[in-house]
Amino acid sequence: MSDMAAHGTDARRLVDAERVVKNFRVGGMRGGHLVQAVSGVSLHIDRGETLAVVGESGCGKSTLGRLILRLLEPDSGVVRFEGRDLSALSATELLQARRRMQIIFQDPYASLNPRMSVYQIIAEPLVTHRVCKSKKETEARVKQLMAMAGIRPEHINRYPHQFSGGQRQRIGIARAIALNPSLIVCDEPVSALDVSIQAQILNLLYDLQREMGLTYLFISHDLSVVRYVSDRVCVMFLGKVCEVGNTEELFANPMHPYTAFLLEAAPKPDPHLRKEKKALLAGEMPSPVNPPDGCRFHTRCPYAMEICAQEEPELRPIEKRQVACHREG
C-alpha cells in the first residue's frame, strides 16, 4: 500500500503510515526497560472513512493514534498526512497541518481545563489559529459549534465541572471540530460513558461525519462499538497489526486466530447466544518489554506451529484482507 502513496496515485488517501516504530524507556534505574509500544505498523486511512483500531490494553493502539497526529515522534518510519511527511514539516507548516487534525480523548473529566469556561475551551483553537477576525465573530462561531455538538447555548459561560460526562464529551467534540479538520482521532471516546449516553455521542459523531466529511481514526476496545462505527478495522496485538479488513467481512469471517478469539470473547447482549463452552484464550498478554520471538501471539495461540516461534509473519494480502499469520496464505 505504501507504493501507491509514494507514486502519489491515490488522492483519496489522507493518512499513510509506513513501518512506524515507537519504543518507550521506562524505569530510571540502570537504563530501565524498553517498552516496544508500536513495532513497525503500516496502515492507511482514506478520506471520509472510519478506520477502527482495536486491541486489548497495551497493544499500542493509543500510541499509534498519537504517532499519526505527531503528538509523539516515531523512532523510525514515516507518517504522511495529506501526502506530506509530518516529520519533515517546518514549524509553521506543522502548525498549519495541525488545524486539519484533531483528537477526542476518552476521559472528558481530564481532557478539559477546569478553569476555563465552555466559551474559552471552544474558542481557544479559533484564537490560536487566528480564524476569526473579531470577538463578535468568535462568539458567533463558538455558538454555532455548540449547537452542532448539542450543547445548550445558555451554558456558554459554565465550567466543565457543571456538566455530566456525556455533556463534557460534547464540549470536547465541539473543540475538535472548531477548525474544520479533515481527520479526528477518537481515542476511546465513549468508553467512560453510560450506554444511553454512549449512543447519543456515537450518533453525534456519525452526524458530524456526514455533515463535515470527516475522517475518523477510531480507537476502541469495544467490539460492538467498532462494528457499528467503522468501515474498516485494524486489529492490533502487542504493537503489531494482526489483521486489517472491511468491518463486516472481518466480523463475519475473522482470519487471524487472535481476531477470532477477540470476537468470541466479547459478551453478547443476547442470552440465547450463550455458550456452554466458549473458546477462551488461555493466559495473559505477554509483556511489551520482552515480547515473544517470532509471532508475538504464538505463546497464546492454540494453532501455533514450529515456524511461529521462529519467524515473524508479515502482513500479507489475502483476498481483500491483510493478515499476519503463518497459517494463512
Where on the chain is the footprint of another protein (CB under 8 A)?
Answer: 56-57, 164, 166-167, 194-200, 202-203, 206-207, 221, 223-225, 227-229, 247-248, 251, 261-262, 264-274, 278, 280-281, 283-285
Q: In angstroms, what is the minimal distance from the CB of 222 to another protein?
A: 8
Q: In angstroms, what is the minimal distance from the CB of 203 to another protein?
A: 5
Sheet holding 33-46, edge to edge: 33-46, 13-26, 76-81, 84-85
Give 129 or 227: the residue with its C-beta nearer to another protein.
Answer: 227
Tell me how crowded residue 269 is: count the other CB atoms within 10 A of its CB: 8
Give 44 or 300: the residue with its C-beta nearer to another protein.
Answer: 300
Give 130 or 272: the residue with its C-beta nearer to another protein.
Answer: 272
Give 215 or 247: the residue with its C-beta nearer to another protein.
Answer: 247
∠ CA(226), CA(97), CA(4), 5° rounding?
65
Handedness of CA 188, 190, 193, 195 (dihedral sign): negative
Query: Rounded CA gap, 213 and 215, in Å?
Result: 7
Give 91 or 282: the residue with its C-beta nearer to another protein.
Answer: 282
- The residues pairing with 39 across neighbouring beta strands, listed in sequence order, are 21
Give 3 or 284: the residue with its C-beta nearer to another protein.
Answer: 284
Residue matched to cell numbers 497464546:
300
Q: Which residues contact 197 (CB under 8 A, 6 or more apart)?
A: 164, 165, 166, 190
Q: In angstroms, what is the minimal distance from the CB of 71 to another protein?
A: 24
Q: In angstroms, what is the minimal distance from the CB of 168 to another protein?
A: 12
Q: In angstroms, what is the minimal distance from the CB of 198 to another protein?
A: 7
Strand, coil or helix: 18: strand
Return the closest-CA partner of residue 182 out of 157, 221, 156, 208. 208
- The residues pairing with 23 across neighbouring beta strands, listed in sequence order, are 36
> Which cell is 283 given?
493466559
Q: In angstroms, what is the minimal distance from the CB of 220 to another protein?
A: 11
